[in-house]
């Protein structure tokens, strides 16, 4: 005689379906973050005082960011997107700030070259000033675009990785020789986390400013606007993305490359 079998109540079946769906959608969760902690101080080489910006013939500082995961460049709940908006609003024509989805690296590369080529004849007397940054897959794309610029013979002042996650076969831990300075912010507590160290392809031309390890174990940071599965499965990864202390430090590094005065070339 066989034991009687009982059908599972519908709520259990639906819970199982939701869990499977969440796991299948886990890659989508590469799109969220926020945090609360004390960061290490800004490295002395990158500290900046209050700037008095004067008009000049210099072209604007070009700052290009890359969003993580599958998020849109217009999604303002994400720290990397919000930074680009803040730079545009606060610094006007002195900084050309833009943000791209991480799968649009070719578009970003073409736009950087267009901006360089569009400079006035007097501005072209100066070398281009470019800063790249990104979170998660966006950090990996920032390194890839830096490599493309290296092949073009274009220097990069600063590259910032925030909890970088490599895309496919790419190795975003090696910073190309055309980058003057690079810094890495990462956490290791989450299912998704960044690499603990970046290295210079040529230490003679690239300074690795720091590899900064952040912990969010004791800091519960709200992540409003993100899907529940991101908050559950990639909580630490999304916390570092929107940690205001991280992006305030990145902004300080950007401003360190913005001269207070801009003398006219001879």
Per-residue pLDDT of the chain (266 residues; tens, 9 = 90+): 444 444 443 333 433 444 344 444 444 443 333 333 445 454 444 444 444 444 456 789 999 999 998 878 888 878 899 999 999 999 988 999 999 999 999 999 999 999 998 876 766 778 899 999 999 999 999 999 999 999 999 999 999 999 999 988 888 899 999 999 999 999 988 788 898 999 999 999 999 999 999 988 877 766 677 776 777 788 888 888 988 889 999 999 999 998 765 443 44
Contact predicate 204/20, CB 8 Å: no
What's this model's pTM, rounded to 2 decimal places?
0.77
The confidence score (pLDDT) of residue 45 equals 44
**What long-range pairs does 83-90 form, CB within 8 A, spacing at least 24?**
83/133, 83/247, 83/250, 83/251, 86/251, 87/63, 87/251, 87/254
Domain residue extents for the chain? 61-255
Identify the bridge partners of residue 159 per DSSP, sorted by sequence position: 132, 182
The whole-number pLDDT of residue 260 equals 62
pLDDT of amino acid 107? 97
Q: How far apart are CA 12 and CA 213, in angstroms?
A: 40
Please check whether the domain covering 61-255 is classified as CATH 1.10.3470.
no
Per-residue model confidence as pLDDT tens digits over 29-68: 433 333 334 454 544 444 444 444 444 567 899 999 999 9
pLDDT for the residue 57: 62
The structure tokens listed for 167 are 């895309």
Token couple for 69: 């995961």
User: How big is the CA angle at 76 (ends 73 and 80), to the nearest 5 degrees?
Assistant: 65
**What pLDDT shows up at residue 12?**
34
């Amino acid at each position: 005689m066989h034991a009687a079998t009982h059908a599972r109540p519908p709520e259990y079946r639906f819970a199982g379906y939701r869990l499977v769906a969440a796991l299948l959608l886990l890659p989508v969760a590469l799109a969220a973050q926020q945090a609360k902690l004390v960061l290490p101080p800004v490295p002395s080489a990158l500290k900046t005082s209050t700037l008095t910006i004067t008009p000049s013939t210099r072209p604007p500082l070009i700052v290009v960011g890359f969003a993580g995961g599958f998020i849109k460049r217009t999604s303002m709940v994400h720290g990397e997107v919000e930074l680009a908006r803040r730079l545009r609003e606060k610094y006007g024509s002195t900084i050309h700030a833009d943000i791209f989805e991480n799968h649009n690296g070719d578009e970003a590369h073409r736009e950087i070259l267009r901006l360089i080529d569009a400079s006035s004849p007097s501005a072209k007397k100066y070398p281009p000033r470019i800063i790249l940054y990104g979170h998660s897959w966006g950090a990996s794309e920032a390194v890839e675009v830096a490599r493309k610029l290296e092949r073009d013979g274009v220097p990069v002042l600063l590259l910032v990785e925030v909890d970088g996650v490599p895309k496919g076969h790419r190795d975003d831990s090696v910073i190309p020789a055309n980058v003057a300075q690079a810094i890495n912010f990462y956490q290791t507590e989450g299912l998704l986390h960044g690499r603990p160290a970046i290295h210079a392809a040529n230490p003679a031309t690239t300074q690795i400013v720091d590899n900064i390890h952040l912990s969010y174990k004791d800091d519960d940071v709200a992540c409003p606007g993100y899907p529940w599965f991101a908050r559950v499965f990639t909580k630490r990864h999304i916390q570092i993305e929107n940690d205001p202390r991280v992006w305030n430090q990145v902004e300080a590094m950007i401003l360190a490359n913005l001269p207070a005065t801009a003398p006219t070339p001879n």
